[in-house]
């Protein structure tokens, strides 16, 4: 059976953008109510692919306006 995986993204900027979009979709779907929930979702999404500073930037970017 063939796996349903997307092909690798060619460069790191595109991969960072892809991770941000995936994290934003997951945060939206989960209807988070706290910053910690957003952070946990982003942490699982990026899974050691980015450094701590980048992860914090993604959290700030995808957190709903009500949590900012």
The answer to whether residue 60 is domain-embedded is yes
The answer to whether residue 13 is domain-embedded is no
21-46 average pLDDT score? 93
d(CA 11, CA 25): 21
High-pLDDT (> 70) share of the chain, %: 84
pLDDT (0 to 100) of residue 41:
95
Q: Say if CB 51 and CB 20 are below 8 A apart.
A: no
pLDDT (0 to 100) of residue 54:
92
Spatial CA neighbour of 56 closest among 26, 20, 22: 20
Could you give the number of structural domains in the chain?
1
Domain that holds residue 56: 32-68
The answer to whether residue 2 is domain-embedded is no
The answer to whether residue 64 is domain-embedded is yes
The answer to whether residue 61 is domain-embedded is yes
Q: What is the pTM of this model?
A: 0.78
């Amino acid at each position: 059976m063939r796996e349903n995986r997307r092909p690798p993204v060619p460069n790191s900027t595109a991969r960072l953008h892809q991770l941000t979009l995936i994290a934003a979709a997951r945060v939206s779907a989960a209807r988070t109510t706290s910053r910690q929930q957003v952070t946990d979702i982003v942490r699982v999404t990026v899974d050691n692919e980015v450094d701590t500073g980048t992860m914090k930037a993604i959290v700030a970017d995808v957190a709903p306006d009500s949590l900012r």
